[in-house]
Amino acid sequence: MAKPEPEIAKELDMAEHKPDIGKELRQIPAEPLLPIEKKLIGWSLGLGAVLLVVLVWLTGALFPA
């Protein structure tokens, strides 16, 4: 369940008092892209391109101008 924004804001206030977050963000260790991440990105974009053609065609066929 998504938290309401005020709760998030409260957590953020608490987070402000954790100085190690800034340090952590500056010192994130290098994590090279794993093959599965590359696959996820590639498949997502590839599927997007294929579906773009399919959906444009379907839109034209179902709802002609």
Contact residues for other proteins, defined by CB under 8 A: 1-6, 8-12, 15-16, 18-19, 21-26, 28-31, 33-34, 36-37, 40-42, 44-45, 47-48, 51-52, 55-56, 58-59, 62-63, 65
Minimum CB separation of residue 46 from other proteins in Å reads 9
DSSP-assigned letter for residue 18: -
State how far the Cα of 33 lies from the Cα of 35, in Å rounded to an integer.
7
Minimum CB separation of residue 61 from other proteins in Å reads 11
Helices (H) and strands (E) in the chain, counts: 3, 0
